Structure 1
Amino acid sequence: MAADPPSTPCAERAPDGQYPGRGGRLTLWGVAIIIIAVSVFGDHQQPDGGPQSSRSVGSASAPTATLQAARPLPRSTPIRLIIPSISVDAPFIPLSVGSSGQLEPPPAADTNLVGWYAGGVSPGEQGTSIIAGHVDTATSAAVFAGLYELRPGDRFSVDRADGRKAEFVVDDTETFPKDDFPDERVYADTERPEVRLITCAGDYDQSVKDYTENLVVFAHLV
Structure 2
Amino acid sequence: MISISIPLKADSDDTVFERVGGDDFLNVTLKYSLKTDKRDIPDGTFSTSLGEIKYYDAKNITYVGLYGHKDYFIIWKTDPNRYDWVDRNEQVNQYVSCYLIDGVEGKCFVEYSYEYDAVYGVMLSTATDNYTEAEFIYNILGLNPAGFDLSYDTVQYGGVGYSSAPSSHYHTVVPDRYTLSRVDPGAYYDHYEYGDNYDIDDYLESEGFD
Higher strand share: 2
Q: If the length of structure 1 is used for normalisation, what is the TM-score? A: 0.24
The structure that is helix-richer by fraction is: 2
TM-score w.r.t. the length of structure 2 is: 0.25
The higher-RCO structure (CA 8 Å, 6+ apart) is: 1
Q: Could you say which structure has the larger radius of gyration? A: 2
